[in-house]
Every structure is written in C-alpha cells, then in structure tokens.
Amino acid sequence: MPYKKKLSGFEEAFCLHYAKTRNGIQSAIVAGSKANTPQQVAINMLKKPRVQARIKELWEKAESDVVMRVLERKEVLSEIGRSVLSDFIDENGQIIIENLKGHAAVKEVIVEQWRDGHDKEAQTRSIKIKVHNPIEAIHELNAMEVKMKPGGDKLINPTWIVNVMDRETAEEVAKLGLRTAPMLTEGVTKVTEIEVNSE
C-alpha cells in the first residue's frame, strides 16, 4: 500500500535505484547525495517509513509483473494436459514444426543432421520431441484446485495425532492397523485425554 506522505525527488530516486540494486550507498549517490558519507544517508533513508513503503511497493510491482498468476499457471497446465500426439504429427507421421513453437507441452526438441558416408550431398535429418507428462499436469491442476479452497491445504495427506491413554481404547485404535498395535498399547494404563488434530 502506498505511503500517504509524498516522497521528495531525492527519496523517489533513491527508492527506484534501491529497488533494483538493493545497494543503499550506490542508491544514495545515484539519487544525487552530496554528503561525504553516503553510507549514513542510505541508513537514514532506509529508516524512513515512507521510503520503506515505497521500496516494498516497487518490489511487489516488479514481482507481480514477472510471477505467473494462478490463471496463467492453470492455462499452461491445461494445455499440457490436453495435448495429444496428433498436435505435433500429421497423418503421414511427419512432425509439424510450426505446432512445436510456444506449445506448453513441448519439453525439448532435438534436431540431428548428418551426412551419409558414401554420398556427401545426401543429408539425413532426425527430429525428436520430448513432451511433458499430461497426467502429471492434470495431477498438479487437481492439487491447485484443492489448495485454492479455504482450508484446502489441510485436505492433502492429512495426519491424525491420537493420544490414547487407556489399554482398551488403544486396542480399538490399534485395529486400524496391525503395525501400530505394539506402539499404541505399550505402557498405557489409564485415560487422561484423547486429542485429534489435523495437520
């Protein structure tokens, strides 16, 4: 959120340079500091709340321009998930080069050319395509859907912590899995509490 008090020209220049370089001394000099101690100028500038707020705003803007939004990530994963071999190969089995360019599913294109040993004019060309796994893309999309829901991150691989304090309850809980029986029943004598948490 932008700071309410307007920055001076020197402060704005300092913030713009500092947001790019994270170098306070250099930012003070570039902004036009005439002081003999640009280090102290930088320290003082970085203590000002309005300067801190402006630098944070510039960093967030730079990050938002670079980082993919959720919709963009979903579109890329959807393109990978929907891709089929016929997107890249025609009915004669030839690779359609134009379709490879910029396609999210294309992981790597390897083009090999060589000349035959006997005929110096004849060239052999091989094109191999590696694509991203569409099943993995669909899985990632499903995971994103769960994580985007409120509390959705808790739905993935839930872990239950059960503190059982009496032998009878421990034996009942142990029936859920024979491997856990020795751990659950060992040393249990009486009930004091039962706690269930989801992490």
* DSSP one-letter string for 20-85: HH--HHHHHHHHT---S-HHHHHHHHHH-HHHHHHHHHHHHHHHHHHSPPHHHHHHHHHHHHH--G
Provide the whole-model pTM. Answer: 0.41
Q: Is residue 197 pLDDT above 50, yes or no?
A: no
Q: Choose the most confident range, by mean pLDDT, from 17-31, 53-67, 132-146.
A: 17-31
What pLDDT is attached to residue 51? Answer: 93
pLDDT, mean of residues 149-153: 49
Select the more confidently predicted residue: 59 or 119. 59
Chain center to CA of 20: 22
pLDDT, mean of residues 53-79: 81
CATH of the domain spanning 9-66: 1.10.10
Q: Is residue 194 pLDDT above 70, yes or no?
A: no
pLDDT band at 196 (very low <50, low <70, confident <90, very high): very low
Select the more confidently predicted residue: 96 or 43. 43
In angstroms, rounded to a whole number, what is the distance separating the alpha carbons of residues 156 and 98?
40
What residues does CATH 1.10.10 cover in the chain? Answer: 9-66
pLDDT, mean of residues 80-85: 86
pLDDT, mean of residues 106-128: 76
Phi, psi of 130 (to 5 degrees): -115, 130
Q: Is residue 52 pLDDT above 80, yes or no?
A: yes
